[in-house]
Structure 1
Amino acid sequence: MDKIHEIAGDGALVPRFDDGMVNMTELIRVMAESLVNEIMDAQADEACESGNQRNGYRERRLVTSVGTINLRIPKLRAGSYFPEDLIERYSRVDRAVIAAVSEMVTNGVSTRKVKRVAQSMGIDRMSASQVSRICSSLDESVADLRERDLSDVSYPYIWLDATYIKCRDAGRVQSTALVTAIGAGSGGYRRLLGLDAIDTESYDGWRAFLLSLRARGVDGVICVTSDAHEGLKRAIQEVFPGAAWQRCIVHLMRNAAGNAPTRQKRGAVLGILKAVFAERDPELVRELYQLAIEQIEGFCPKAAEVLEEAEADALAYLDFPYEHHVRLRTNNVQERANRELKRRSRVVQVFPSRKSLIRMMGAVFSEMDEDWAGRRWFNDDSIGRAVEGAKVNAPAPAYEGTAAEHAARIIALVVADNPIPGRKAA
């Protein structure tokens, strides 16, 4: 404690703002950092009373309500020291993995690989009561995430998706759909709106999930981005009437290219569509989309049919503020979240129960949600214009002539770079 009094008592060491006022938040952070490090030193010294010796420190950062503090965790020559009464050894996600693997080991369904993972994470030294405490704390945290009230702000934009992970249910292994909703609120921040595990991506499953979001206060939705799933699209129209549906252009491009009979023609379809969506001017994108359909129809009628049917939904993002176009037109925010979920769940391979799967998913999204809370995604002006239904407000085009003329020039260049015998000329 002497060191803390010294910091508080020496005016030169007290953090201050430029105007000379004491920065109380930084002062509390420095004092907390000093206190925690002194406690760890004292505990390490006590552990060495039986003849052990200190062997330096290892650094670790800890995020607290008063800022990030730098921990200097003492190392011992024999054995190890970790301040479990001060900080948690594992993140929420790590503890979710521990809980799932422990359940597998307990139920006798583990493999040799899972046992090695369990030992590397210290599960062989973890008692049933410790695992129970881990599960209890995680379940409470995930429940708060899934049930929290969302009526504090409106959510003009929502991104929906599902990913499949294997789970043991009713005595057999099956793929379970993990459905999630991520929203951008009227304050400009991203937020996890909901998550659940359902049997199939059916209309009934999606409708029940979306209705649960409405019941928790999700309102003011003007655009929903997702992949093309008829059951999901129908559920969106019923639960959020009046909201536009944006079909993810990445999935649309893959769907269109999938109808091409040869690799060369698939490459040509993708090359043309990439040129369309590389442009930002709304009028030019619309002109290019029409020309792309005409060109693709000449060598792949099925792909052209897919694009023609999807036009209104693929270009829905062009009706919203220009600053939001890049994020609205794809489901990338969901794809990144799903990749992280798959990466972190790969250790478990097959989850022993649906409850453990939801626990894991909730742990991953809890950490993401906390990260999103500190970073604004859309600024106040642009998100405000979206809520008010203001005009697109795109910058003046940089090309010469009309949008139709410039679109024709672009398509001609793209077609020349992707020659297909028998295709219509630009």
Structure 2
Amino acid sequence: MATHLDAQVTAFRQWRLDQGVDSFVWVDALVVKVREDGRVVNALVATGVNTDGYREILGLDVASAEDGAGRLAFLRGVVAHGPSRVQLVISDAHPGLVAAIGSALPGAAWQRCRTHYLRNLLTTVPKAAQPHVAAQVRTTVDQADAVTAQYDHVIDALEPRFRDTAEHLETARADLLELSARDLAPDLVRQPPRTADQAELNKQIRRRTDVVGIFPGPTP
């Protein structure tokens, strides 16, 4: 029924960006059903934020394997679209994905997605304390300056009651504070990309694929 859309989908996946400049790039994975033996696989999404502050989808593809090869092929396809001068890539800490980012975009910094990380962190505290801990951690993101000092303050505040949580934060320090540590463009540091925007995009993709209940696979 959707065969008439194949040409448009192919054009979307092969187009080149006009400006070709995306300072920030998110890479995320959605779990979707695909039209290949009814399997449940990952749909990889790459979203760029250009120097004017506008988001644009750079790539969307299905990866049937959990290894790094599928992710690397996806990212190489994204790079082929023409984004240049990428300063920072944001993703979860899946080893295969991080390695693929390093290979496809060797000049870009990498930062761990704070939303994904926070979900992992909150498993180290009782459910009743999770809103308080989440609010504390988010204060480090809200800082325009002195991010490291606020990060230290949060760790010190959590350590007496939640030692494992404080150690978890300390271990993830370098991954979470890359945006503050790197010498990025000043206007971009003042207005870092919001992970909430990526979450909303993922929600819209799910809402549209849920209409037919299955994501189209690479074969007709």
Q: TM-score, normalised by structure 1?
A: 0.47
Indicate the percent of aligned positions where both proteins have the same amino acid: 31
For residues 41 and 190 of structure 2, the distance between their equivalents in structure 1, rounded to whole angstroms, comes to 31
For residues 182 and 347 of structure 1, the distance between their equivalents in structure 2, rounded to whole angstroms, comes to 23
- The answer on whether the counterparts of 2:144 and 2:190 sit within 8 Å (CA) in structure 1 is no
Q: How does 1:79-158 map to 2 (within 5 A)?
A: 99=1, 135-136=3-4, 138-150=5-17, 152-158=19-25
- The answer on whether the counterparts of 1:154 and 1:221 sit within 8 Å (CA) in structure 2 is yes
Please name the residue that 1:176 is paired with.
41
Please name the residue that 1:249 is paired with.
114
Q: Which runs of 5+ in 1 are unaligned?
A: 1-98, 100-133, 360-426
For residues 215 and 308 of structure 1, the distance between their equivalents in structure 2, rounded to whole angstroms, comes to 37
Superposed displacement of residue 347, structure 1: 2.2
- The answer on whether the counterparts of 1:226 and 1:246 sit within 8 Å (CA) in structure 2 is yes
Residue 227 of structure 1 pairs with residue 89 of structure 2: no
For residues 326 and 187 of structure 1, the distance between their equivalents in structure 2, rounded to whole angstroms, comes to 13
For residues 129 and 51 of structure 2, the distance between their equivalents in structure 1, rounded to whole angstroms, comes to 43
For residues 70 and 160 of structure 2, the distance between their equivalents in structure 1, rounded to whole angstroms, comes to 40
Distance 1:187 1:322, change over 3 A: closer
- The answer on whether the counterparts of 1:160 and 1:334 sit within 8 Å (CA) in structure 2 is no
Amino acid at match of 2:85: G
Instruction: Give per-residue Cα distances to partners, 1:357-382, cap 9 Å, x unaligned.
Output: xx9xxxxxxxxxxxxxxxxxxxxxxx
Q: How does 1:26-425 map to 2 (within 5 A)?
A: 99=1, 135-136=3-4, 138-150=5-17, 152-169=19-36, 172-186=37-51, 188-260=53-125, 262-278=126-142, 280-283=143-146, 285-318=147-180, 319=182, 320-321=184-185, 323-325=187-189, 328=192, 330-351=194-215, 353-355=216-218
CA RMSD of aligned residues (A): 2.5
For residues 148 and 267 of structure 1, the distance between their equivalents in structure 2, rounded to whole angstroms, comes to 43
Q: How does 1:18-33 map to 2 (within 5 A)?
A: none
Superposed displacement of residue 265, structure 1: 3.4
Superposed displacement of residue 187, structure 1: 5.1
- The answer on whether the counterparts of 1:182 and 1:194 sit within 8 Å (CA) in structure 2 is yes
Amino acid at match of 1:150: L
Distance 1:281 1:156, change over 3 A: closer
For residues 150 and 175 of structure 2, the distance between their equivalents in structure 1, rounded to whole angstroms, comes to 16
SS at match of 1:246: strand
- The answer on whether the counterparts of 2:48 and 2:57 sit within 8 Å (CA) in structure 1 is yes
Amino acid at match of 2:137: L
For residues 210 and 39 of structure 2, the distance between their equivalents in structure 1, rounded to whole angstroms, comes to 16
Q: Which runs of 5+ in 2 are unaligned?
A: none
For residues 303 and 266 of structure 1, the distance between their equivalents in structure 2, rounded to whole angstroms, comes to 11
- The answer on whether the counterparts of 2:159 and 2:165 sit within 8 Å (CA) in structure 1 is yes
SS at match of 1:159: strand
SS at match of 1:276: helix
For residues 15 and 98 of structure 2, the distance between their equivalents in structure 1, rounded to whole angstroms, comes to 25
Amino acid at match of 1:214: V
Q: TM-score, normalised by structure 2?
A: 0.85
For residues 113 and 191 of structure 2, the distance between their equivalents in structure 1, rounded to whole angstroms, comes to 10
- The answer on whether the counterparts of 1:162 and 1:180 sit within 8 Å (CA) in structure 2 is yes
SS at match of 2:16: coil
Instruction: Give per-residue Cα distances to partners, 1:314-360, cap 9 Å, x unaligned.
Output: 12223445554576354323211110111122222235x5148xx9x
Q: Matched residue pairs, number? A: 218
Greater relative contact order structure (CA < 8 Å, 6+ sep): 2
Instruction: Give per-residue Cα distances to partners, 1:42-86, cap 9 Å, x unaligned.
Output: xxxxxxxxxxxxxxxxxxxxxxxxxxxxxxxxxxxxxxxxxxxxx
- The answer on whether the counterparts of 2:58 and 2:81 sit within 8 Å (CA) in structure 1 is no
Superposed displacement of residue 135, structure 1: 2.3
Instruction: Give per-residue Cα distances to partners, 1:244-265, cap 9 Å, x unaligned.
Output: 11222222222211112x2233
Distance 1:152 1:276, change over 3 A: closer
- The answer on whether the counterparts of 2:91 and 2:111 sit within 8 Å (CA) in structure 1 is yes
Higher radius of gyration, 1 or 2: 1
For residues 265 and 271 of structure 1, the distance between their equivalents in structure 2, rounded to whole angstroms, comes to 10
